[in-house]
Amino acid sequence: MTDTLHVARAVAWRHLYKAYSVPSMLLPSLAFPLVFFAGFAGGLSRLDSIPGFGFEGGYTAFQYVFILLQTSAFTGMFSAFSIAADFEAGFARRMMLVAPSRSGIVIGFAIAAFVRAVVTVTIITAVALASGMQVGGGAVDLFGLYSLAAIVNVAAHLWGSGMAFRFRTLQAGPLMQMPIFLVLFMAPVFVPIDLLDGWIRTIADVNPATFVLEAGRGYIVGEPAGATRAFTAVLLLAALMVAWALRGLRRAEGTP
Partner 1 sequence: MTATLLAMQVRALSGRSIARAFRQPAMLFPSIVFPLVMLAVNTGGLGSAVGIPSFPADSFLDFAIAVPFMQGALFTSMNAGQSLADDIQRGFLSRLSLTPMSRAALIIGHVSGAMAIGLVSAACYLAAGLAAGVQIEAGVAGAVVLVALSALAMAGFAALGSYFALRAGSAEAVQSMFPLMFVAFFLSSMNMPRDLIEVDWFRTVATWNPVSYLIEGMRSVVITGWDAEALARGFATAAALVVVGLAAASRALTHRMERT
Look at residue 26 and give its three-state secondary structure: helix
Residues 6+ apart with CB under 8 A from 142: 135, 219, 220
Q: How far is the CB of 151 from partner 1 (least distance, A)?
A: 24
Residue 216: how many other CB atoms lie within 10 Å: 27
Print the binding letters for residues 199-228 with partner 1: x by CB under 8 A, - otherwise: xx----------------------------
* Span of 159-167, 194-202, 227-235, 248-256 interacting with partner 1 by CB under 8 A: 194-202
How many chain residues touch partner 1 (CB under 8 A)?
A: 34
Segment 66-125, which members bind partner 1 (CB under 8 A)? none
Q: How far is the CB of 17 from partner 1 (least distance, A)?
A: 19
Residues 6+ apart with CB under 8 A from 81: 160, 164, 170, 173, 176
Residue 154: how many other CB atoms lie within 10 Å: 22
Q: Which amino acid is at 156?
A: A
Residues 6+ apart with CB under 8 A from 11: 95, 104, 105, 107, 108, 109, 112
Q: Which is nearer to partner 1, 28 or 100 (CB)?
A: 28
**Binding test (CB under 8 A) with partner 1, winner from 189, 212, 238, 241:** 189
Helices (H), the chain: 2-21, 23-37, 59-89, 91-98, 103-130, 139-167, 173-185, 199-206, 208-220, 227-254
Q: Which is nearer to partner 1, 31 or 239 (CB)?
A: 31
Print the binding letters for residues 24-53 with partner 1: x by CB under 8 A, - otherwise: x--xx--xx--xx-xx-xxxxxxx-xxx--
Segment 126-165, which members bind partner 1 (CB under 8 A)? none
Residue 21 interacting with partner 1 (CB under 8 A):
no
**Binding test (CB under 8 A) with partner 1, winner from 174, 206, 254, 256:** 174
Q: How far is the CB of 153 from partner 1 (least distance, A)?
A: 21
Residue 182 interacting with partner 1 (CB under 8 A):
yes
**Binding test (CB under 8 A) with partner 1, winner from 20, 55, 167, 185:** 185
Q: How far is the CB of 79 from partner 1 (least distance, A)?
A: 18
- Compute the Cα dihedral for 117, 33, 147, 245 and give only its sign: negative
For 88-134, the DSSP string reads HHTHHHHHHHH-S-THHHHHHHHHHHHHHHHHHHHHHHHHHHHTT--
| Dist CA 41 CA 144 (whole Å) | 22
Q: How far is the CB of 195 from partner 1 (least distance, A)?
A: 4
Residues that bind partner 1 (CB under 8 A): 24, 27-28, 31-32, 35-36, 38-39, 41-47, 49-51, 171, 174, 182, 185-186, 188-191, 195-200
